[in-house]
């Protein structure tokens, strides 16, 4: 279950930015890079990849990681596709979960990481996560960097002003379902005359659609997006949120969204664990005003990315060293403590560093426990080669209605028509 976001037209260059991932880039200031040890690394932007790369370089002097933040996760996948077809490939690339299946179908384009030692470490990762990067012939093309346990980040000060409870347990009880979540939004908006959530596409639809056992494909790999009750219900929730007038109409990871977060333009964001870093960096003046409550439905996942080494990489061993050191159980635990990216390595889920972690920015919320609990009860669903464009068109349709460019009554049919055009089925 690799759940990662693909964006509407306005979001396409920004939304998939976040996807749940690891760290970033820079150059070593302590020593010149050693021949054969430096490598090129492509990542998508918006996830502070630079910080992780700098940490790695600090601990591994003499190695230069040449980081390129290509753009959104969709743009990064597109650039990789072009490079594999004849361009210059990077030594290491971060691939968002929804984009991974099409690459898994062409394992010949990547190093089989078993040849570098993946067989020895694959047991460190959640089975349903590592299995997504395994081709039919057994080739392992990627190592998972994180999983995106879900919760709701909310502003306690704005809730108090609206006459709503602020205690995280009580807040979670406000919305056991998405219908209740929308009703809470109506109460907030009626009391404050302000938007409740940032947008309907990612904070409602994308969360609801990722909570069931089947999404755009059935377990056998057949496309079922047009007939899936889970998809239609999630889409309807998104449209209902728009019609309720509770959204700020700020598409995730855009400049307006970033600015609005610090200007109190909305009180709630659907926040996977990796999103916490974005909130901290985008709205530093709001420290202590946020808290974290359970998501409607109680469980969820948004995020998951993989590090892969393309065939043609000049320094695969250097890239593999980066993978093994940054994505070990302790490496992922450290990254969670630093950035909130939830480990894919269950051996650390009971580690005191995770269970005892309280985040002062978020009112001392026990983030390790909250996000680990949000993974309980989830069942992995099949992610197909066209999951990314399918999700993008559904998000486009909801965003068009939200922005006043689409008809709510015709949005579902418009999305289906656009999906068929996009993927041919």
Same domain for 102 and 156, yes or no, is: no
CATH code of the domain covering residue 320: 3.40.190.10
User: Which has the closest alpha carbon to 170: 154, 147, 182?
Assistant: 154
The answer to whether 157 and 164 have CB atoms below 8 angstroms apart is: no
- Tally of domains within the chain: 2
Examine residue 3 and state whether it is found in any structural domain, yes or no.
Answer: no
pTM for this prediction: 0.83
261 lies in some domain = yes
Neighbouring C-beta atoms of residue 162, cutoff 10 Å? 19
Asked if residue 371 belongs to a domain, the reply is no
In a domain, 8, yes or no: no
The DSSP line for 299-333 is: --B-B-EEEE-BTT-S-HHHHHHHHHHHSSHHHHH
In this structure, the answer to whether residues 176 and 290 fall within a common structural domain is yes
- 194 occurs within a structural domain: yes
Which pLDDT tens digits describe the chain residue by residue (425 residues)? 333 333 333 333 333 333 333 333 333 333 333 446 899 999 998 777 888 899 999 999 999 999 999 998 889 999 999 999 998 999 999 999 989 999 999 999 999 999 999 999 999 998 889 999 999 999 999 999 999 889 999 999 999 999 999 999 999 999 999 999 999 999 999 999 999 999 999 999 999 999 888 899 998 889 999 999 999 999 999 999 999 999 999 999 899 999 999 999 999 999 998 888 889 989 999 999 999 999 999 988 887 899 999 999 999 999 999 999 999 999 999 988 887 789 999 999 999 999 999 999 999 999 999 998 888 767 778 888 899 899 999 999 999 999 999 999 999 999 999 999 999 99
**What is the spatial distance between Cα 42 and Cα 25, in angstroms, rounded to a whole number?**
10
| Structural domain boundaries, residue 123 | 15-147+303-348
- Does residue 200 belong to any structural domain of this protein? yes
> Are 20 and 45 contained in the same domain?
yes
pLDDT in tens, 139-181: 999 999 999 889 999 999 999 999 999 999 999 999 999 999 9
| Residue 404 C-beta-side C-alpha neighbours within 13 Å | 4
Q: What is the pLDDT of residue 30?
A: 34
User: Residue 16: what pLDDT?
Assistant: 38
Q: What is the pLDDT of residue 311?
A: 95
| Per-residue pLDDT at 24 | 34
Examine the domain organization and report whether 38 and 128 are in the same domain: yes
DSSP string computed for 16-74? GG--S-----B--SSSPPPTTT-EEEEE-SSS-HHHHHHHHHHHSTT--EEEEE-SSHH
228 and 189 in one domain? yes
396 shares its domain with 332? no
* Same domain membership, residue 134 and residue 199: no
pLDDT of residue 19: 37
Residues 272 and 230 in one domain: yes
Residue 357 belongs to some domain of the structure: no
Same domain, 282 and 307: no
Do both 166 and 25 map to the same domain?
Answer: no
Question: Does residue 1 form part of some domain?
Answer: no
**In a shared domain, residues 187 and 120:** no
Same structural domain for residues 410 and 272? yes
């Amino acid at each position: 279950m690799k759940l990662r976001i693909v964006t509407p037209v306005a979001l396409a260059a920004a939304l998939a930015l976040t996807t749940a991932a690891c760290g970033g880039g820079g150059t070593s200031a302590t020593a010149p890079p050693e021949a054969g040890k430096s490598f090129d690394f492509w990542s998508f932007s918006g996830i502070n990849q630079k910080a992780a790369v700098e940490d790695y370089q600090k601990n591994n002097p003499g190695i230069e990681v040449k980081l390129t933040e290509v753009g959104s996760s969709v743009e990064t996948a597109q650039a990789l596709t072009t490079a594999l077809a004849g361009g210059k490939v990077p030594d290491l690339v971060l691939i968002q979960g929804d984009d991974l299946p099409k690459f898994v179908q062409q394992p010949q384009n990547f190093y089989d990481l078993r040849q570098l030692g993946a067989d020895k470490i694959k047991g460190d990762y959640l089975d349903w996560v590592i299995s997504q990067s395994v081709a039919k012939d057994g080739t392992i093309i990627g190592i998972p960097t994180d999983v995106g346990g879900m919760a709701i980040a909310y502003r306690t000060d704005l809730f108090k002003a609206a006459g709503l409870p602020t205690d995280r347990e009580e807040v979670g009880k406000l919305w056991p379902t998405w219908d209740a979540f929308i009703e809470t939004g109506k109460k907030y908006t009626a009391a404050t005359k302000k938007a409740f959530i940032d947008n309907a596409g990612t904070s409602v639809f994308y969360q609801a659609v990722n909570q069931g056992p089947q999404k755009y494909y059935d377990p056998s790999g057949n496309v079922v997006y047009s007939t899936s009750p889970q998809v239609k219900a999630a889409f309807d929730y998104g449209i209902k949120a728009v019609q309720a007038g509770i959204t700020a109409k700020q598409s995730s990871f855009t400049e307006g969204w970033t600015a609005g977060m610090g200007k109190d333009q909305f009180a709630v964001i659907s926040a996977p664990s990796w999103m916490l870093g974005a909130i901290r960096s985008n709205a530093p003046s709001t420290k202590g005003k946020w808290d974290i409550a359970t998501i409607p439905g109680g469980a969820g996942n948004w995020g998951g990315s993989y590090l892969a080494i393309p065939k043609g990489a000049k320094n695969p061993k250097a890239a593999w060293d980066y993978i093994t050191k940054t994505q070990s159980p302790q490496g992922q635990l450290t990254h969670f403590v630093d950035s909130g990216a939830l480990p894919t390595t269950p051996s650390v889920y009971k580690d005191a560093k995770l269970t005892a972690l309280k985040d002062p920015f978020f009112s001392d919320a026990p983030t390790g426990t909250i996000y680990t609990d949000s993974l309980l009860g989830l069942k992995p669903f099949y992610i197909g080669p066209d999951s990314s464009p399918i999700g993008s068109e559904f998000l486009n349709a909801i965003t068009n209605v939200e922005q006043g460019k689409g008809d709510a009554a015709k949005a579902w049919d418009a999305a289906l028509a656009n999906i068929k055009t996009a993927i041919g089925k």
